[in-house]
Chains A and B, each alone.
Chain A
């Protein structure tokens, strides 16, 4: 590749970098919304390729400017293998027309090979455009991501040529990570089959929404304390989980928007906020009585006010 091509690419990139970045950010939001529909907890990040990195890739891999499809990239990290499979189905459905390439390393590798196992997609900003912007999406489990990140750090030490026996050690670790992924999935399946109390059942049902829309962490002890007698807030024939899901469907975006703006209202950073707001809307007086036995009334007043209601 001659240097005038590289200079030309640099000029293109400086002109287009901002557009690619905007597309990456937009795609990240789209992915978040898609996975939210199935309440799949996900950690999303995006990055734009560095100027030098782009040119180096063109030079080393003899690619043209347009051939480089990872100018902007989004990474989606989910917890379990079951989340990965569900996310893959959802992404394929949602971006069917826009996916220009999909590659699952697991599907293409043979049964004696271990190593990098993410699913990659090249997603266009527009299905019909002849010259679309392309963003590379990487979908991984937490274990796959951990291996990938550490393997990358260890394999690319500047100035050191890693011998093949050490590379083999690194790849062997990926087999361990694959076993860990399978084991975590098996344990999750076993836990899901255990008989559970109401608080656990509710927290499990709220888990996906909470993690994808509000926060990564909450005080579990506080949740259990509030939910320990939650059945008394509902009629015996009411399906609590179904009611909460319907409430989230209708009000989920409002809850997450208020949660992000109101760190001063403590309960908005707890998953039981969904139960509190659902009861506030449908059985306020029952909730007030229940609340009296748990916390000071001012706390419920603060929640109600932030939600645009009054207890008075």
Chain B
């Protein structure tokens, strides 16, 4: 799906405006306060080629990015969105408007005062004769209203030129986007949310778990283990200098043990590898079944392996120890003919047979 986004044709845009909920405290103090309701489009917004290109590029720039993740509807979720999306893919024009209104209404109902107000955009596209649906949640600062427009038969919609302007200005914050498509009769999704990591149940996960009722297609601990193993394989198969092998292994273990909640292999390549190695590394891990997009770090399955480093020599000699101890007490130098010198400077504790 990601590789074919170039062929995405935008066909219809529906926009709904979701206001921010008032805090319980305010409602208690001012029971007569007027509670703002969602403003729902009754027809699709008119679009022109410039707008089509704008949204095409926005979708390509997010769904095609390495920060996007694959999601599926979670059958255990209470969210009705999976059902609505299924209906959307089979519905006619009027059904589609109604379905998007129901989705917008549901978002409003489950939001609380912590969630920002924003626009919910439904962009129906075709991609190689297949229908796909992009849903964007665009946050914006309080007080910035979008222009309403009355079109045929007095029906209300939103001025898309104005929305485009809003999305380009600093008044609009980052947006969340999910692209749904049907494959083998199952609805799948690709989700990109620049505000968050994926996998932990926190406020930022509201969109993916509570609202959409989705789950990640692959478990973070599996992805982390695969990434770790494939990168080690790359180090041992493609990097010939023993000195460089050690350096990159250090980078890898640091990446896996630092405070960051996410791993982005492409960013890792940018930071840890020399320029001539970066693309080769990305291709290698992709060919060996690891993902090159972002994923939530979960070291559960590799924790013990991260604690120790092992050097295995062709002569049958092994040197192993904690990364910290090896870095502090040994030195690796490249020699001719692919050989290396490893110097260990330490106090001998004991020597024994094994």
By a beta-carbon cutoff of 8 Å, the part of chain A in contact with chain B is: 254, 258, 261-262, 264, 282-286, 288-289, 301-302, 304-312
A298 to B275, CA, bound (A): 20
Q: Which residues of B contact A307 (CB under 8 A)?
A: 6, 60
Q: Which residues of A contact B60 (CB under 8 A)?
A: 304-310
Known: A308-B64, A312-B61, A312-B66. A285 touches B49 (CB 8 A): no
A289 to B278, CA, bound (A): 11
A261 to B61, CA, bound (A): 18
Partner of B275, one of A254, A262, A286, A302: A286
Chain A residue with Cβ nearest B57 = A305
30 example contacts (A-B, Cβ-Cβ < 8 A) are as follows A254-B6, A258-B6, A261-B49, A264-B50, A264-B53, A282-B279, A283-B279, A285-B266, A285-B270, A285-B282, A286-B278, A286-B279, A301-B61, A304-B60, A305-B58, A305-B60, A305-B61, A306-B57, A308-B4, A308-B8, A308-B56, A309-B6, A310-B61, A310-B62, A310-B63, A310-B65, A311-B61, A311-B65, A312-B62, A312-B65
A258 to B63, CA, bound (A): 19
Within residues 79 to 131 of chain B, which ones have a CB less than 8 A from any CB in chain A? none
A301 to B269, CA, bound (A): 19
Within residues 28 to 54 of chain B, which ones have a CB less than 8 A from any CB in chain A? 49-50, 53
Chain B residue with Cβ nearest A281 = B3
- A262 CB to closest chain B CB (Å) equals 6
Assess the A285–B278 pair: CB atoms within 8 A: yes
- A234 CB to closest chain B CB (Å) equals 11
- B11 CB to closest chain A CB (Å) equals 15
- A259 CB to closest chain B CB (Å) equals 13
Nearest first, the 9 closest Cβ-Cβ pairs linking A and B are A308-B6, A305-B57, A310-B65, A312-B65, A285-B278, A310-B64, A308-B5, A283-B279, A305-B60
Q: Which residues of B contact A258 (CB under 8 A)?
A: 6
A258 to B7, CA, bound (A): 10
A304 to B279, CA, bound (A): 16
Partner of B53, one of A262, A284, A304: A262
- B17 CB to closest chain A CB (Å) equals 26
Q: Which residues of A contact B7 (CB under 8 A)?
A: 308
Chain A residue with Cβ nearest B275 = A289
B287 at the interface (CB under 8 A from A): no
B276 at the interface (CB under 8 A from A): yes
Chain A residue with Cβ nearest B194 = A312
